[in-house]
């Protein structure tokens, strides 16, 4: 039987029609998945921002107990001094040997945390711009700080007077 080496009898691969149908299906599935992925990433970012806040408080409590002195977490926009710009502007954890909530000459800065994403908000139930832990790990006041973005489920950190910290969902912002 004669077989042409340039045009074999059997064909392999996809036709252009099959390829176009596969690309159309891929496009439809991708367009349906992108909004869900975006919401997942936003919720994950909110949770991570709140976890970082919680870890600052955990560090301050542990350092206060270890060092036997007051350790403070305060709001800070510049990373060198405490301010009242809100918890979203950033934070400083420092050994607070002088006036409570004020970084003095002898105070040691332990950690500086940067501002959160500009699209997110971080609100507090208290007007204080700092939380201080004494040597026993007890705080000067209790506070609830909520991280939110409009239309998404918020995440809140609660600091109890005993110094204990919890993280919960806050409901839709």
pLDDT per residue over 84-103, tens digit each?
888 999 999 999 988 888 99
Radius of gyration of the chain (CA): 27
pLDDT band of 110, cuts 50, 70, 90: very high
pLDDT per residue over 58-82, tens digit each?
999 999 999 999 999 999 999 899 9
Mean model confidence pLDDT for the chain: 86
pLDDT band of 154, cuts 50, 70, 90: confident
Q: Whole-model pTM?
A: 0.77
Q: Of 104, 103, 115, which Cα lies nearest the Cα of 74?
A: 103
């Amino acid at each position: 039987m004669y077989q042409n080496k340039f045009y074999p009898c059997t064909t392999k691969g996809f036709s252009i029609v099959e390829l176009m149908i596969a690309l159309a299906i891929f496009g439809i599935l991708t367009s349906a998945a992108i909004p869900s992925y975006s919401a997942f990433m936003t919720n994950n970012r909110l949770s991570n921002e709140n976890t970082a806040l919680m870890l600052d408080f955990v560090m301050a409590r542990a350092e206060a107990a270890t060092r036997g002195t007051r350790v403070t977490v305060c709001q800070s926009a510049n990373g060198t001094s405490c301010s009242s710009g809100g918890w979203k502007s950033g934070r400083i954890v420092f050994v607070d040997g002088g006036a409570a909530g004020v970084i003095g000459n002898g105070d040691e800065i332990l950690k500086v945390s940067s501002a959160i994403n500009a699209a997110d908000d971080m609100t507090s139930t208290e007007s204080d711009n700092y939380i201080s832990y004494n040597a026993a790990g007890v705080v000067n006041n209790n506070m609830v700080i909520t991280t939110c973005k409009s239309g998404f489920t918020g995440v809140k950190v609660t600091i109890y007077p005993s110094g204990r910290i919890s993280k919960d969902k806050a409901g839709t912002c």
